[in-house]
Amino acid sequence: MDKIFVYAEAAEEGVADCSLELVGRARALADQHGFVVGSILIGHELRNWATELIHYGADEVHIVDGGPASTTNMLFHAKAVAEVVKAEAPEILLFPATITGRDLAPRVAVRLGTGVTADCTSVEIGTYDDPLTGKRYEKILYQIRPTFGGTVMAAIVTPYHRPQIATVRPGIYPVPSKDETRTGQIKEWPIGRAEEEKSCIEVLEVKREKRKVDLKSARIIVSGGRGAKPEGFKLIKELAEVLGGEVGASRAAVDAGWMPYDHQVGLSGQTVKPDVYIAVGISGAIQHVVGMKDSKLIIAINNDPEAPIFKVADYGLVGDLFVVLPKLIERLKRTC
């Protein structure tokens, strides 16, 4: 049976959520189109994590243990992934579009003589009628992402080379539920020691900085854009506080230095799915919308009735935020 493989990225205490999300997505595609889901796990003494991957939806896990140095040596990871893929010949290989995934996917693609579609916001499987050869290809990965500065959502296909490799943005798909009754195969690969793979980078110490704001698990987000200006962000923070929510921002607001990058929502920021997303003084550029469109309820406040944000909003309020927000805050303070 054809295979979809997912590269399992390590977090501090297990497989990173971004990889579990991809295992969940691969599982859904596999059940629909008849694939086996495999995962590649590289590092030191990771057998428990392999079982975890199976509980989250993998049918088989391929472990490469290259000793303690294999945690950080990305050249070893590239070599190991390429070796496993050459032997197992999956049709599709997915990486999370994290710093590690973005570093690794092109290295693996070069070793395998195939391409990569980076930073996809969705992956689907379908047939592809090739206008060049007149041939129909089955089970093709549609690698969907904004392109040409966000003016077009492109569906990119790789009909002639295998595997079809894509990196997928974290936070797009949910982490699947864990099923501890699931069973699967675990295969260990002796691919040498990581220190044999000479890297020009030596990792001396790993320091993890905790995010200062947790937008991903926030139930309410009040986001501000260029229209808010620094004064507007005082009102946005106040509204977020009254509602018990977090503050988000467009890239324009982050670039202007009004909010730190941790708060940026969108293509080059975070993907969020709160119960309520309030966009204040944000025009609704596609690069912002891809990061918040799956929110359960979207409310937009903008003084331009033609602003594209109103196309994705469930409720729209046309008005000056400096007039609307103080009234809203005052009303909420009285009722909350």
Q: Which stretch binds ligand FAD (CB under 6 A): 8-16, 27-35, 99-107, 298-306?
A: 298-306
Q: In this structure, what token pair is assigned to residue 305?
A: 């009735």
Q: Of 283, 295, 313, 328, which one interacts with ligand FAD (CB under 6 A)?
A: 283
CB nearer to ligand FAD: pick between 5 and 233: 233
Contact (CB, 8 A) for 63 and 188: yes
Q: Which stretch binds ligand FAD (CB under 6 A): 32-40, 58-66, 69-77, 263-271?
A: 263-271
Q: Which stretch binds ligand FAD (CB under 6 A): 2-10, 190-198, 208-216, 222-230?
A: 222-230
Q: Of 14, 67, 106, 150, which one interacts with ligand FAD (CB under 6 A)?
A: 150
List residues bridging with 299 in a β-sheet.
Answer: 278, 315
Q: Of 221, 253, 259, 298, which one interacts with ligand FAD (CB under 6 A)?
A: 253
CB nearer to ligand FAD: pick between 32 and 268: 268
Please write down the long-range contacts of 326-330, taking CB distance under 8 Å and 24 or more positions apart.
326/235, 328/239, 329/235, 329/238, 329/239, 329/242
Q: Distance of alpha carbon 148 from its chain centroid, rounded?
A: 20
Residue 304 sits in the site that holds ligand FAD (CB under 6 A): yes
Residue 220, exposed/middle/buried by CB under 10 A (0-12, 13-18, 19+)?
middle
Q: Which stretch binds ligand FAD (CB under 6 A): 87-95, 214-222, 234-242, 300-308?
A: 300-308
Beta-strand pair 3-8/315-318: unpaired
Q: Of 118, 267, 276, 328, which one interacts with ligand FAD (CB under 6 A)?
A: 267
Q: Of 152, 268, 297, 311, which one interacts with ligand FAD (CB under 6 A)?
A: 268
Q: What does DSSP assign to residue 209?
A: P
Q: In this structure, what token pair is assigned to residue 120?
A: 């996809």
- DSSP string for 13-80: TEE-HHHHHHHHHHHHHHHHHT-EEEEEEEESS-HHHHHHHHHTT-SEEEEEE--GGGGT-HHHHHHH
CB nearer to ligand FAD: pick between 101 and 266: 266
User: Which stretches of the chain bind ligand FAD, using CB under 6 A?
Assistant: 149-150, 225-227, 250-253, 264-269, 281-283, 285, 287-288, 291, 301-304, 307, 320-322
